[in-house]
Amino acid sequence: MILPSGQLRRVLVKFAQKSTGAVDWGAAAAELVSRPRKWCNFGYVGEFGLTGGIGSGKSAVSQRLAALGAAIVDADKVVRSLQQPGMVVFEGMVSHFGDDIVGADGGLDRAAVAEIVFNDSSQLKALNEIVHPAVRAEMADLRALLAQSHDCVVLDVPLLVESGYDDVLGVIVVDVSVDTALARLVEHRGFSENDARARMANQVDREHRLARADFIIDNEGGLDELDLEVDRCWAWMQTLL
């Protein structure tokens, strides 16, 4: 067998030693290419999807994974950056929905947008068609950038199941019951019960989300229990890197 050289050889050595404790070139190469990793200038990177319904505590999990060493691509932050005045998504939204969604400060009035789209499925579809392509493009750039410096990247995407992110090592779902999510939205985020239910209804249901999961984080408990769940998840992630 002809041994690989240069950068690929270094990547294979690292992977083979991590997997088996010895360099078995054939086995290492076969397993490496079988995993949906992304090739970048500095080697392969393992990407995971992180999702959960509104009120599940997904953001708290994302913060903990970042503290453990994962690089986070936060779809919500990307959306907000693209919805700033002058950005293409902002302009597209104003063109479609009108000036009523522009606040007194010239920025996006998110409450006005929510009032429109969460009561009209056709308008929600129109919003997604404006937002999602630009967000995917921006996230692709961020993924490529982070791949240069990190072995593990987590795509924090609320609508990951709906959006069809399939090219990841594993999908992590943060799960709570509908009653728990509803109570948290009302008590901690100031939603009315009707508003919270409307937003939940516009996401894929719990059963479909769980069916897509490769790893489930149970967030029904308190913060101490969540820490243990995230540690358990991180250990699982390391077995795939």
Structural domain count, the chain:
2
Residues 25 and 80 in one domain: no
Domain of 227 in residue numbering reads as: 35-240
Position 27 pLDDT exceeds 70: no
Which 3 state secondary structure label does DSSP give 50? strand
At 24, the pLDDT band (50, 70, 90 cuts) reads low
> Token pair 């000036």 is at which residue?
99
One domain for residues 223 and 185: yes
Specify whether 233 is located in the same domain as 133: yes
Domain check: are 49 and 13 in the same one? no
The per-residue pLDDT for range 76-105, each reduced to its tens digit, is 999 999 999 999 999 999 999 999 999 999
Q: Do 14 and 119 reside in the same domain of the chain? A: no
Nearest-angstrom CA–CA distance, 217 and 219? 6
Q: Which residue has the higher pLDDT, 117 or 30?
A: 117
Q: Which pLDDT value is given to residue 29?
A: 52
Both 131 and 47 in one domain: the answer is yes
pLDDT (average), residues 9-28: 51
Domain identity same for 81 and 25: no
Do residues 124 and 104 share a domain? Answer: yes
- Alpha helices by DSSP H, the chain: 6-20, 25-34, 58-68, 75-82, 88-97, 110-117, 121-146, 160-163, 178-188, 193-201, 206-212, 223-240
Cβ-based burial of 6 (10 A; exposed 0-12, middle 13-18, buried ≥19): exposed
